Chain A
Amino acid sequence: MNEFWLTIISYAKLILLTIVPFVLAGQGTMLGGRTGIFNVAQEGIMLVGASVGFLVSYLTRSNELGMLAAMLSGGLFGLALAYFTTNLRMDQFVIGLALFFIGIGLSTLLPKIVIGVTLTPPLIPTLKEISIPVLSQIPVIGEIFFKQNALVYFSILLSVGLWWYLYRTQVGMELRAVGENPQAADSLGVNVTRSRYWTAIVGGMLIGLAGAYLPMVYTGTFTENMVKGRGWLAIALTFFGGWKPDTILYGALFFALIEVLAYRVQVLGTAIPYQFLLMLPYLATILVMVFSFRKARVPAFLGQNYDREKRAL
């Protein structure tokens, strides 16, 4: 095999590795949105997930516990979002921003308290590659798809599972009904509050896990604002993917491709200053929104709060 093909394979592998935060945060956002809860705190929740995931891994020397802790903290943010919007019926966007702020603050505060300020960054081991027996032996395909870390497999299985759940089961159909017209669902005995709570919490957990992926795979340490807008990009991805698990997975491939290009092309060395390459993910996302935003099919009740006793005006 010549060098060209080896490069292609390594890029494909890298792209698959890079989809994870987008898939997890995108599906987490989509899940909440399917019951009408529009989470905009992704950036903050991912930061907390990254911070907590890193700290727990660092203290326990276990990435698994780190991921668990990141999911737990993300779940708490989801719980808060569910409570403030479902029980107190506060403006979803405003409370989402408030949670985003708290996330920013906590993510830098916690390492300062737990570890303090150090000269060299404290490091954690990054996630190991897991080779799937037999399948990983297939030429090319095996290298790209079956020698990846656990979360790559998880995020793809998650997408498939969510699709099956939403579009092939009675409960999934009822969940979608809540996001389209909660009053209709409620009047037929579907528990709107319960659906909103669990989707917001599980969504928050996935977003927290997406954050933990960054120190555990990319850097081995936590740095301030290391999420670099991926949380906001995940929102764009969710719209781009039409709030559907399958298309969000495909969309994540595109986002990952741009990110890989932006970071890899600068290594190759070009005449373009690297700062302009680093603008690519954001500019490409804006461009994508131009072409997909208005066509996006959005859950009809997205961003709204349901009040059973609200009178028709």
Chain B
Amino acid sequence: MKKSNAVFSIARAVLPYLLAVLAAFAAAGVFIALMGFDVFKAYGTILFTSFRTPNGFVQTLLKFVPLVLQALAFTIPLTAGKFNIGGEGQLLVGATAATVVGIVFANLPPVLLIPLVLLAGVLGGALWGLIPGWLLYRFGINEILTTVLLNFVSFNLVNYVCTGPLRDPGAGHPTTLAIGENGWLPMLVNNPPLHSGILLAILVVAVVYYVITRTVSGYELVATGANPRAAGVFGINTRWMFIASLVIAGGVGGLSGALEVAGAQHRLIEGMQHNFLVLGLIIGLIAKGNNLAVPFVAFFISVLEVGASAMQRTLMIPVEMVFIVEALILVFVLLSDLVQKRVS
């Protein structure tokens, strides 16, 4: 009895998502068909590339790492009612810090250099979260614009680092030299290559979930997000919650950058943030800010992203098509919320 209830309630929670995905695929499918492509072949590629080959699956996991962290960098402050649209700035500054440390201290042994590189990334990102956090704390300035604008600042910073002192003269694209090999993350699987960053990402997911749902600090974060004025009246230091959540989010965003450097690229590359920020926002919003749902949604979006690249390669359909599908899924998830409210 109890078990079937649980199954039922999970089904009830997942069903709207399924319908939203179907609706988004249907809507975009019309568009794809009008462009003269084979819709079923396209969707087959998008959905199953991740599961056909070991390489596809590993690619998916490699996408999952930055995406889930970017999504958390959005949802952690969202729990406190604050919008962090600065995930990519935090990623880039974290990656820059990790790269600098990885190059300067290239000769340290791995036991020291790996944690140092990651720590540098976390601190760099946290600094990039601290700036809007402090402006909010000190002057009450809306964090949405400051986090967004700092992204553009970080683009120029990365361009400077990649074309300036640490430039790799052999690369055609603005890129730095590689960090010391002692700073590279150990591999979980060598062929196809999968670095151990995924374990760290999963650990972060678990810790965030525990802290927010079980601890007093997590309760205060939720209360702040639910109504900061009331939370403040009943003794919670809401301004502290705001700044702390933005700094932690910045750290998580910075970690995503450090993992890209230490695990995947081993150097700073201009444009390495791809569209992780926007995908992170989409994941966080589809998950409705629920930190438990974030990893599942992030995995699903990773599957779509890996499928999208394959689709562009084999069927010549632009990847942006899938990006629009993802945005449409978000719209339909939001719509399904309304439908549920009307029905109940």
Residues of A within 8 A of B (CB): 40, 88, 90-91, 93-95, 97-98, 101-102, 104-106, 108-109, 112-113, 228-229, 232-233, 235-236, 273, 275-276, 278-279, 281-283, 285-286, 289-290, 293-294
Contact = CB atoms under 8 A, between A and B. Distances in A.
9 contacts: A97-B285, A102-B327, A104-B323, A229-B149, A275-B156, A282-B149, A286-B135, A286-B141, A286-B146
Interface stretch (B111-119, B157-165, B176-184): B157-165
A91 B78 CA distance: 14
Given A88-B335, A278-B156, A105 B323 contact: yes
Contact of A279 (B144, B152, B338): B152
Contacts of B282: 101
Interface string B78-93: 0000010000000000
Nearest to A93: B83
B202 interface: no
A275 to B, nearest CB: 4
Nearest to A95: B334
A235 B156 CA distance: 21
A101 B281 contact: yes
A33 B274 CA distance: 32
A294 B150 contact: no
Given A94-B285, A109-B318, A113-B318, A273 B278 contact: no
B140 interface: yes
Contact of A104 (B142, B151, B278): B278
Contacts of A91: 334
A293 B139 contact: yes
B320 A108 contact: yes
B35 interface: yes
B321 interface: yes
Nearest to A229: B152
Given A289-B141, A293-B140, A282 B153 contact: yes
A101 B327 contact: yes
B125 to A, nearest CB: 18
Contact of B35 (A113, A232, A273): A113
Contact of A109 (B144, B150, B320): B320
Contact of A101 (B149, B151, B323): B323
B103 interface: no
Interface in B52-79: none
Contacts of B151: 229
Given A88-B335, A279-B153, A289-B141, A98 B146 contact: no
Given A98-B331, A113-B318, A229-B152, A235 B160 contact: no
B145 interface: yes
Contacts of A290: 135, 139, 141
Interface size grouping (class) on chain B:
35 or more
A289 B146 contact: yes
A283 to B, nearest CB: 6
A112 B318 contact: yes
Contacts of B140: 293-294
B53 to A, nearest CB: 27
B148 interface: yes
A275 B157 contact: yes
Contact of B285 (A88, A98, A113, A276): A98
A65 B285 CA distance: 37
B324 interface: yes
B160 A282 contact: no
A275 B146 contact: no
A249 B334 CA distance: 36
Given A104-B278, A113-B35, A235 B285 contact: no
B152 A228 contact: yes
B149 A285 contact: yes
Given A88-B338, A109-B324, A232 B149 contact: yes
A213 B278 CA distance: 25
Given A91-B334, A279-B156, 18 more contacts: A93-B144, A98-B285, A98-B334, A101-B323, A104-B278, A105-B323, A229-B148, A229-B149, A235-B145, A275-B157, A275-B160, A281-B152, A282-B152, A286-B141, A290-B135, A290-B139, A293-B141, A293-B142
Interface in B306-344: 318, 320-321, 323-324, 326-328, 330-331, 334-335, 338
A232 B146 CA distance: 10
B324 A102 contact: yes
A11 B85 CA distance: 34
A94 B299 CA distance: 22
Interface in B256-283: 275, 278, 281-282
Contacts of A97: 281, 285
Nearest to A283: B153
B330 A273 contact: no
A282 B142 contact: no
Nearest to B289: A94
Nearest to A102: B327
Contacts of A281: 152
B174 to A, nearest CB: 11
Contact of B150 (A101, A106, A112, A282): A282
